[in-house]
Structure formats: C-alpha cells, structure tokens
Structure 1
C-alpha cells in the first residue's frame, strides 16, 4: 500500500502548482503551497502514508 501511495504522491506533486490555497483560512494561508500528503487508517488500525502527511 505504501508503494502505491508513494507513486500517487510523486505523480501528482506537479498538480500542486495549478491551484491556490484558501487564503481566508489563516492556517492554510501559511501552509506550503506544494505540500501533498496521504494518510490512511484502515478498519484494522493499519496506517499507510506518503508525502507531507503530518
């Protein structure tokens, strides 16, 4: 699963340059514009993550 998530993040990082962050939310206005992360917890409690998930 982590390999799949790593590929998805790597493939989609360029897409972060196309959008804008909601500046009306103060915390998001301070966020890195190119941050992209995935974090998944399944029903058994297994954790899967990639990229800027923290």
Structure 2
C-alpha cells in the first residue's frame, strides 16, 4: 500500500499525483480518504464521477 500527498490546488485540472492515487486505489481496491472535499476539486462534474 502507498500514501500519497497532493499539494496542487483543487482549481487545477492537471493533477498527476491525483491520477496515480486513483489508479492505486483501483488496483488495490483501496478507499480514498479526503479531509476536505473542496481541496480535491472545485469541479462538480469531476467529483460526481468519482466512485
């Protein structure tokens, strides 16, 4: 298992660390824990697409 820390703004759409994190979650069947949803993204369409 791995731990990822994202430092990019939730306003930006190009987030390579987030992409690696989501890929690892899919591979390991892990759950992504986010402390503040507004830090993840400000794009409602993106947030609704997360499973």
TM norm structure 1: 0.30
Q: Which has the higher helix share?
A: 2
TM norm structure 2: 0.31
Q: Which has the higher strand share?
A: 1
**Is the radius of gyration larger for structure 1 or structure 2?**
1
